[in-house]
Amino acid sequence: LDGAHLAAVMDASPEAAQRAAFGRAAVFVDAGELLEHPGVDAVLIASPTTLHAEQIKQAARAGKAIFCEKPVAINLKETRDALAVVSDFVAQEPSAH
């Protein structure tokens, strides 16, 4: 993406996060802390599928643009719940109207 740059990396393993950051990005082991980082406008969720739905909800509530690898969740209910949180946030955004 034009103008995009890696601002932060989160991994439960600090060593893995450091390697993925290439020394040019903030490193986190907690997703909540990453979502509070002022330089993070969007997130790429590439975690175990069992974590996707909750991380999508957290990112939506934090006002971040979200790209998540497939599948969104293990089952349809979790997928719908996550998408409902995203839809609620988008509906609240003035730019969405």
pLDDT-derived band at 91, boundaries 50, 70, 90: confident
User: For residue 87, which phi and psi values (nearest 5 degrees)?
Assistant: -60, -40
**pTM listed for this prediction:** 0.86
pLDDT-derived band at 97, boundaries 50, 70, 90: very low
pLDDT-derived band at 94, boundaries 50, 70, 90: low
- 56-81 per-position pLDDT tens digit: 999 999 999 999 999 999 999 999 99
Please state whether the peptide bond connecting residue 71 to the residue before it is cis, i.e. omega within 30 degrees of 0.
Answer: yes
